[in-house]
Each structure stands twice: as C-alpha cells, then as structure tokens.
Structure 1
Amino acid sequence: MVAIQLFNEIGSIFLNTPTFALVLEALLLLSVIWLVLHKRGSGRRRYTKEEEDYLIEQYEPEPLVTETDPGHPLLRKRLVQSRVGKQIVVDGHDCLNLGSHNYLGLLEDETILEDACKSLRKYGVGSCGPRGFYGTMDVHLELEDRIAKFMGLEEAIVYSYGFSTVASAIPAYAKRGDIVFVDESVNFAIQKGLDASRSTIMFFKHNDVNDLERLLAEQEKRDQKNPKKAAKTRRFLVVEGIYLNTGEICPLPELVELRKKYKLRMFVDESVSFGTLGKTGHGVTEHFNVDLDEIDLISASMEGAMATIGGFCVGSHFIAEHQRLSGLGYIFSASLPPMLAQAAISALDRFEREPKIFAELQEKARLVQQKFGLFSKLILRGNELSPVKHLYLSQSLGENFEAERKLLTEVADKCISRGVAVVEAAYLQNIERKPVRPSLRIAVSRLLDEADVVRAYDIIESVSNEVL
C-alpha cells in the first residue's frame, strides 16, 4: 500500500509540473551523468616516480613580491621626529611646515588636545567595533548632531576614515545603469567611489561648465530616443568644493543651474573647502551664498581644517540614514576612536567661538598666492583663497612625468635640508584615471606670518634655481 501511495504521489507531481520544467530537469540530469562518465573515462597521463621527482625538482614558484626598483618613490622615507605643527623636524632638520594639511593650526591647540586626553581617560583608545554593533558611543552621536546643526541640515553621519567617506557615499546611491557626470580632476577617493558604483561615468573638463553642458545635452538626446530607459536612469553630478589636485574652487552657482535644468542629483566633496571657505567656515556653499537645499549630499574629511581623523556626510534625514545600511565604510569599519570624535567636537567649538580664524587663514592664503606667484623656475596653480596650492616646473618636459617628479623630489629634499618642509604630491599614476602632472603641494596654515612666507619663498627660489 505504501509503494502504491508513493507511486501515485510521484505521478501527481509529474502531471502538475509544466512540460518545459521536466525537459529542463532531464537535460540537467543527463548533463551531470555525462560529466561524471566523461571524467571517469578521460585518460590522464600517469608519471613515473622518476618523472615526478624531476618535475618537482625543476619547479620554481613565482616570487610573492616582484622585483622593485630601489629608487621607487614609495621606498623613500622621510622621518618626522617631532610633533606636527607650524614647525616640524624632518630627517633631523627643523623646518617650517608647508606640507601638512593643518589649515587652521588646530593641531597645536592645547584646549583641543586636553579635551581629547580627557576622552581618552574616560573611554580608552578605541571603540573596538563598527557603529552598527557595539561601536557607537555618546560622543559619536554628539558629533553627528553638532555637525548637522553647524551646517544647518537635518542629519549627519560620521565615518572613521576620511578616504572611505566619499568612496562609500557614492556607491551607496549610484548603481549599475546610473550615469555620473564628474569633473576630470577629482581626487583619488572619489575615483574609487565611482569604480565601486559600477555606474556609467562621464568626465567633463576641469571646471569647464560648457563641456559639462555639452555632455548633458548629448545625454538628453539619447534619452529622447529611449524614454523608457531614461525614466529608470538616475543622473548624478560629483564635484569638489576645492579640488585637492589643483587647488581651484568649483563654479558652484553655474553647476547648480545645470543641476536644476537637467534634473541631476548633486554631490559636493568639501574635504578642503570645509573650515576654510566662507565667513564662518561652512565651505563652498557659503562662499558662493548658495542655498544648501540645492546640494543633495555634502561630504568632507575631518583630516584638514578640523585637525583630527575621519569624515562625515551631511544632508537630509534620508541621505544620512540610507548610508547607515549602505555605506560600506560605515558598516564594516570600527567606529572613530572616541578621543578623535571629541577632538572634532572641540574643533567645532572653536569654529563657532572664533569665526575670525577663517578670515585669518584666507588672508594667509592670499599672501602665499601673491608671493609664490613670483618664482622664476616654478609656476603656481590654485585659487587665492585655497589653502592648497601646487607648484609645477615652469618649463614642462612634456609627457616625461618621471623626469619632472625626480627634479621636484630633489627640490623638496634640498628645501628640507635648508629648513622648509615641502612635499611632492603623491599619485598612483598607474591607477589614476589619467596621469597627473607632478607638483609640489603647498598646504597653507593660518599660523604663518609674513616673515615665514618670505623666508619660504627665498629658500624655494634659491633651491629651484640650483636644481632646474
């Protein structure tokens, strides 16, 4: 009886199963049988013991690390032997520091240091876990609340590493099939975020609004030919407030107009411009008096003007909350050490208590722009208000970037030996979207005075005339 009942159930299964499913399952079963029989029947050559020993003896595994040029720039180490501030000891030389992104000089603020030490004594060194598990502490929530209030937006989300902030935020929203319009000079973190998004990337010429509009108009024509696809395609615009690779400010008002016209979602990375532009340090939106509602997402590293570690994104509640489940750098990284979060809170206190520090920084940036524009063998690039500026060889060597890099490295080494710390901008040329021309990256500090700037100019001018 049991056998008959089982046979009836099997029969009912076959009767109720669609024909195409039965055929597919039969083909799969035959394929498995064929693979098993073919594997058993396929003859493999069997080696003798002598042949096996010979092959093993002759085998040479590939090295885990390929031979590296001993002159590779990443193998050249400069040893810092002091606390980082306006002055810094590099390789035993006491130098004026023009290499650290300590724009407001807060690395030397004793109040911030003491606040961080108090937090260290209370919480310990690290949080030992991601934010979504057991890594969230009251200082993280306070910092996010303070950033949102400072920027005048609904909510902020804090990341534990500046690079991962924008690199995680972009793929949290832009996905495969979306289109992202990007300035060709964006920093490496943005480039990695674009790679992770798997979106269609369309680069426009650096700060060229006309070239961007050309690309947008061409895309609009393509959308008209396929309206169904266009209705499902999201479009993003990604720029920097001040470009790390050029020191130039983005034309935000013109970009906002294009955003409105072509219905784009706009992301602005303010890693350099936050805490440096505007009367109260709010960044490029304040500099141009652009309504914050025009920007969908603002991201920034806290490793510049705030003189700590980490980064943040700020915007609407949806913008922040979505990243708590989609921002990979937020989800899978241990949260920001509490003492560094407290240092960021104390930096915001200083922002609000002494807004004059932003005007002081901008004054020093103008002073450096005026003086460093007089070099005879080097040319300066960057906006006069930008704390980041670049020095290039006045006579280009064409596409021979390696020769330019070696000359600039020699200039930097000799400047350090004479008391001015400048560094060549580091790029992963084989990974960057396109080769970036070598330069000396100058980071302006609010703590510089006119005598410092004149002294730095004299040394760099003297060294460049010797080397170039």
Structure 2
Amino acid sequence: MAKSNKKKLSTDERSIALSAVRRLKNAAPKQSTPKPQQARATAPKFADLPGFKEIGLQKAAAELLNIDNPFFRAHEGRAGATTQIDGQTYLNFSSYDYLGLNGHPKVQAAAKAAVDHYGISASASRVVAGERVIHTELEERIAHLHGVDSSIAFVSGHATNVSTIGQLMQPDDLIVHDSYIHNSIVTGAKLSGAVRQSFQHNDFDALESILELRAHKHQRTLIVVEGVYSMDGDYPDLPRLIEIKKKFGAWLMVDEAHSIGVLGKTGRGIAEHFQVDARDVDIWMGTFSKTLAGCGGYIAGCHNLIEYLKFTASGFVFSVGIAPPIAAAVCQAIRTMRDEPSRVEAAQENGRYFLQQAQAAGLDTGVSQGCAVVPMMIGDSLKATVLSDRLLKRGLNVLPIIHPAVPEKSARLRFFITSEHTKDQIDLAIKLIKEELRSYENEPVSLQQLMSA
C-alpha cells in the first residue's frame, strides 16, 4: 500500500503553523487605495491582490493538519488507470484520458512521425507562416466528427471559448448560460462586454423565462451549455434546447470538452446521443486534451462562422498554430476511436458501473449520470481535502474540488472514469471511500478545535 513521505510536524513546527493560521485569519483589512492627490511611494504588493490571503491560509492549514498539497502532484509517467507518484504506484481517478488513447501505440507513432516531418512547433501564427498540411487534415476530421461544414483549431481549450465568445458577441448582445458552466465561458462573456445571465442548472423553463423577458431587447442572443458537465457528470436535454433556440432566434453553443468519446454510440458526442441533426446547433466547441490525447481546442460549425473566426479571433490570429505533433496525434486518436468502438463501450459501461456501485454504497454522487465524471459530494472543503489526502495514503489518487472552483458547501472528490479502469479497481475505490468517510465522520477534523487546543 502506498505511503506518504510527509513527516509528522514537530511541536515547534505545529506551533509555527498555528500562529500562521491565526495571523492570516485575524489579519486586519487592507487600507483603502490612496486618494488621487496622494503620491504613491512604492508599487502595490502582489500579496495585496484579492485571494492571496486565502491561499496563504490554505497552505498554513494544510501544514497544521499534516496534509500534503493535493494540487500539482507530479506524475512520473503516463497517468492512466494507475500512475506513478514519488516512485509509488497509485490507483488513479484523476485523468481525462477517457478512452486510453494517450498511450496508444498508433497515436504515439503519429506524433513521432510528425516530429520527424514538421519539427515540433508551427513557429508562427497560422495566418502568416504557421500553416501546415496537418492542420487542414485535423480541421477536416473535427468537422466530420461533428457532422458540420468546417472547424478551427486553437492552441488552448480555455482560450478557444474566451476568444470565440469574446469575438462573436458585442456589448449590446445577450449571453445566457447554465449556472454550472465552465470558467472559460464566463471569461469570454466578460471579455465580450455583452449582457450575461445564468439560469439554474438544466432548468429550461427558467431559460425560457429569461429569453421571454430579455431576448427581444438585444440584437443577438447566445445560449451556452456543456455536453457533459465537467464538475457533475450530467448532460442537458439537447432536443429541448434546440426547440428553445429556434423559438427565440438565438444561437446555441455546446461545449463538448467532456462529451466527445463519452456520449453517443460511437463517441461522437451529445448530438449522436440524442440522434439530432448537428447543424441545429450553431457552435460546437471541444478540446483535444481529454478523449483525443492532445492539447488545445476547437470550434466547429458552418463555413461562415469558421471563416469569420479564422480572420478575427485574437486567440487564433495572434497565437502560434497548434503544434504539428499534437495535430497528428489528435487525427490518429479520432481514427482510432472510430476503428476501436470497444473503447467507447468500455468507458460508458465503466461509468455506469461506478455510479451504480457508489449509489448502492450510499455515497452521494450529486446529479451525475455516470458519464465519465462522477463526483462524491462532500460539502465541506476541509473535509474533502483531508479525505483526498487519506485516500492517497491508501493508494488512491483522487483530487478534491473546493471553493472557488465550486460553490461553498459543494466541495467534492471528482472521479474520472475511463475505458482502462477494471471493475476490481472500481470496487476497491468504492470500498476505500466508504471506509475513509466512516472514519472521518467518527472523528471529524476541525481547524477551529486545533487552533483552540
């Protein structure tokens, strides 16, 4: 069984950690910014930025509780159903590699061949000198995967949403999105300057009410949802959304970062799952870093949309083109997903099995539908962090998701289920979670109690 290398705090070290926690919790509010007529003697401090104090408090609390930082854990090789950390093997549920294609021999061979042929970097923006033949092949395969006219590839999934929404929408437009939407959508909406409003998760009556009230006041309206929600593992009613967007003359954008390879009989996403015409969705977004074993993102849709973005989206025009080895690897990953349908079947079966076993064990899986992502709802951020640490000590790597990534009291352990996991591994994970939850509930950890000790 894996063991932690972290040493227990000495009495002096514990005292120092306690002092740090008390100091940070009781820190006086920062002075207001100087009045315009006052000269600034020194530059502002980065430590005064919003959220910096909270980071320090979390670090000090972790030291006090003798907890390893669960974030930035360095894996020593490919992270699949198992992984190596600090020379030890762990059962791993913290990888997006849903179909196990990241280590597939054909995908690796495609990337190596592209290095030999193209080198490593595109070396320039594609608009000027960075265009390569492999980019055309990649975008054609993405368009075919979605069943639409064309696509455009960006070097970052997050930047794909930021650049696309920031470019398409204007200050007099309206963006309405699910309340569980990814940060990149919100950031893009803020960049655009458009009016933004969220609706309660998967509540399409609420969406209609918003559109009834506001859509007619704006030149353009964009509705944004995810194909599979990355924190919760459920998906929206796409046919209903298409009806609503047609009723109000809105654009519909679906972020398929976590649904390609996961939904649909052959892994082609939520349109295949519901058997709807993909052209009824105006904007398809996806990433290469999950199922498709690469890095970056894309937009797929009609010719006019893609042509517009290729000449105006700042994250594309002013950014280096996607690295040719990545493009080649993604192309091969798409081919392999088509040629080896058993991988999609295994991922879907494992997701259902994990969800069923977790629920049978009395664990709270939130609204998950077993689509690759299954959260264990914990509620308290400290509790989630402690449980993650204890599970790591027992050989199970799963990360806590805490505020501000999720709302307060919605902290969770987030499990990614892949085609590579076995039922024995899933059963073991459920067993360990139950045991550690029971142990914690018998002896809860309270930072306040430790501080008053």
CA RMSD in angstroms comes to: 2.3
SS of the residue corresponding to residue 198 of structure 2 reads strand
1:419 aligns with 2:419: no
CA distance in 1, matches of 2:202, 2:333: 31
| Structure 1 match to 2:127 | 132
TM-score (normalizing by structure 2): 0.81
State the 1:60 CA deviation: 6.4
SS of the residue corresponding to residue 286 of structure 2 reads strand
Mapping of residues 96-245 of structure 1, within 5 Å: 96-219=91-214, 223=216, 230=217, 233-245=219-231
| Aligned with residue 408 of structure 1, among 365, 369, 384 | 384
| Structure 1 match to 2:242 | 256
1:374 aligns with 2:360: yes
1:147-178 deviation line (CA, Å, top 9, x unaligned): 11222211110111111112211122111100
| Aligned with residue 318 of structure 2, among 332, 355, 358 | 332
Unaligned runs of 5+ in 2: 1-36, 63-68, 442-453
1:87-136 deviation line (CA, Å, top 9, x unaligned): 10124431111011111111121111121111112222211211112111
* Aligned AA (2:58): G
CA distance in 2, matches of 1:285, 1:115: 28
| Aligned with residue 78 of structure 1, among 73, 90, 97 | 73
TM-score (normalizing by structure 1): 0.79
Give the conservation status (yes or no) of the 8 Å contact 1:130–1:333. yes
CA distance in 2, matches of 1:70, 1:267: 38
* Aligned AA (2:127): G
Give the conservation status (yes or no) of the 8 Å contact 1:93–1:417. no
SS of the residue corresponding to residue 298 of structure 1 reads strand
After TM superposition, the structure 1 stretch with the greater mean CA deviation from structure 2, 384-393 or 362-371, is 384-393
Give the conservation status (yes or no) of the 8 Å contact 1:186–1:245. no
* Aligned AA (1:301): T
CA distance in 1, matches of 2:173, 2:131: 33
| Structure 2 match to 1:342 | 328
Change (3 A) 1:407 1:136: same
* Aligned AA (1:121): D
1:213-260 deviation line (CA, Å, top 9, x unaligned): 11122226xx4xxxxxx4x61111111111112211011111111111
After TM superposition, the structure 1 stretch with the greater mean CA deviation from structure 2, 299-308 or 163-172, is 163-172
CA distance in 1, matches of 2:99, 2:114: 22
CA distance in 2, matches of 1:335, 1:305: 21
CA distance in 2, matches of 1:307, 1:436: 33
| Aligned with residue 441 of structure 1, among 414, 429, 439 | 414
| Aligned with residue 285 of structure 1, among 271, 284, 287 | 271
State the 1:78 CA deviation: 2.1
Mapping of residues 26-37 of structure 1, within 5 Å: none
Change (3 A) 1:150 1:317: same
Give the conservation status (yes or no) of the 8 Å contact 1:115–1:346. yes
Change (3 A) 1:64 1:193: closer
Q: Percent identity?
A: 26
Q: Count residues in correspondence.
A: 391
SS of the residue corresponding to residue 380 of structure 1 reads coil
Give the conservation status (yes or no) of the 8 Å contact 2:381–2:409. no
Give the conservation status (yes or no) of the 8 Å contact 1:425–1:439. yes
Give the conservation status (yes or no) of the 8 Å contact 1:278–1:287. yes
| Structure 1 match to 2:9 | none
Give the conservation status (yes or no) of the 8 Å contact 1:90–1:416. no
* Aligned AA (2:401): A
* Aligned AA (2:269): G
Give the conservation status (yes or no) of the 8 Å contact 1:382–1:388. no
SS of the residue corresponding to residue 376 of structure 2 reads strand
| Structure 2 match to 1:275 | 261
State the 1:79 CA deviation: 2.7
| Structure 2 match to 1:33 | none
1:168-204 deviation line (CA, Å, top 9, x unaligned): 1112211110011111110111111111111111211
CA distance in 1, matches of 2:289, 2:187: 19
| Structure 2 match to 1:386 | 371
State the 1:374 CA deviation: 3.4
| Structure 1 match to 2:423 | 450
Give the conservation status (yes or no) of the 8 Å contact 1:270–1:301. yes
